[in-house]
Structure 1
Amino acid sequence: MSTVDDIQLYLAEKRAIIDQFPVDAVVAAAEMLFRTYDEGGTVYAMGNGGNAGTLDHAYCDFKHHPFVSEDKSRPVSASVRRLTFVNLCGSSAELSGLVNDLGPDNMFSASLEPFATERDLVMAYSGSGNSPNVVRALQAATKAGARTFAMTKGDGGRCRELADVCLVVPGTSRFPGQTGRNDNNFHFEDLMLSVNHMLVGLLKQRVGQAAQAVQLTA
């Protein structure tokens, strides 16, 4: 195949995935996010490798984007509830310390377990659905009574069994770099950012409604 053919293949695969994307799972994730926000809970998120980088992006978006005006000139009223978002892979010092002391399989659960409550939402991202550190964190979240969302691909792995809502990216790929054990991983990582943007936008809409209600009662 030529380079043009490969690029067209990638885009064709992407369109096919979007056409069969599990929208119901995004709706369910949004509902859990709304409940967490309304109850003053905390969103915790985790992932490995490139997914951790995407979560750094998500941390910025979730923490700030819903709470600025549409023209980005000012924050919404201080009386409007903010969202607490914790990126469990955000600190290299914390992660390396936990790996050194407790091992890589416990790096997320050790950070999460002392703090998670039933008001919280734990979001887990794993291409295989079987990353041991993600699986153990989901188990800790479930034990704490927290809501749990996972995003994965393939057969969903352990994450599909453990999470309250598991979004499994459909499809398979023939594009270079995401075949074999890495099947569909580029598409998964692309769509992880898309899902985060959908959730941030939906939360911004909800926050905007809350801000309008504050203005009407002021």
Structure 2
Amino acid sequence: MNYIQTLKDNLQASIAAKQAFLNNHQQQQVFQSAVEMLVDAYRRGGRIYIAGNGGSAADAQHIAAEFVSKLAKDRAPLAAEALTVDSSILTAIGNDYGYDEVFARQVIGKMRDHDVFLGITTSGNSQNIVRALEECRKKQIKSIVFSGHDGGKVNALADYCVIASGGETATIQEIHIVLGHTLCGCVEAELFK
């Protein structure tokens, strides 16, 4: 088997997806608005809570770490939390209320005025992200979602749904991490001039 060709094919798919997003001015404007909203939330004393499943759960932790530690420059920490890391909370909610509720219950219990929820879902249809967004709506908590394909169910629920280009989960996730790094970098640059 030619593994080099597989690598080249994957790199080409990644480049094509990123090029498509680079040319998608509508999604860039959605991202711009999401950054502005998050900067405003931090200025008002809010924090970001991030959630996803599988690889997107790992991305949630990765992005939270960039906010709390740093991305590009030494600065004070920014309050951020991945809702994917407390195994006792996740298993208790999953056992008592079902997996669809693992993020919604945390939104209800943890999030306050000026906080922002960031959901990450390649399909846009992850039911636990949908439920979290429904609770955000009830509590009037601002929300951002990184999605893929046509945006899925979350497109109608989030305040800002940034839809990544790409037909495969892997390429969508690659754009999601660029979006996460850029979101953090923009907030960092704005708040620590």
TM bucket normalised to smaller: 0.7 to 0.9
Structure 1 residue 8: Cα displacement: 5.2
Runs of 4+ in structure 1 deviating by more than 4 angstroms, as ranges, are: none
Secondary structure of residue in 2 paired with 1:130: coil
Look up the match of 2:57. 52
CA–CA distance in structure 2, aligned partners of residues 37 and 9 of structure 1:
37
Decide which of 13, 16, 40 is 1:13's aligned counterpart.
Answer: 16
Structure with max Cα Rg: 1
Look up the match of 1:125. 120
Look up the match of 2:152. 157
When residues 6 and 65 of structure 1 are mapped into structure 2, their CA distance, relative to the original with a 3 A threshold, is same
Look up the match of 1:188. 172
RMSD: 2.1
Structure 1 residue 15: Cα displacement: 4.2
Q: Does 1:33 align with 2:38?
A: yes
Equivalent positions of 1:1-218 (< 5 A) are 3-4=4-5, 6-7=9-10, 9-21=12-24, 22-65=27-70, 70=73, 72=74, 75-76=75-76, 82-172=77-167, 184-209=168-193
Unaligned runs of 5+ in 2: none
What is the TM-score with the length of structure 1 in the denominator? 0.78
How many residue pairs get aligned? The number is 188
Structure 1 residue 171: Cα displacement: 4.0
The CA deviation string for residues 5-59 of structure 1, in whole angstroms up to 9 with x for no partner, is: 5245324423433432421122111111101100001211110000101111111
Unaligned runs of 5+ in 1: 77-81, 173-183, 210-218
CA–CA distance in structure 2, aligned partners of residues 126 and 15 of structure 1:
17
Once the two structures are aligned, what percentage of the paired residues are identical? 26
What is the TM-score with the length of structure 2 in the denominator? 0.88
The CA deviation string for residues 48-94 of structure 1, in whole angstroms up to 9 with x for no partner, is: 0001011111111011216x9x4x4xx55xxxxx5321211122222
CA–CA distance in structure 2, aligned partners of residues 46 and 193 of structure 1:
13
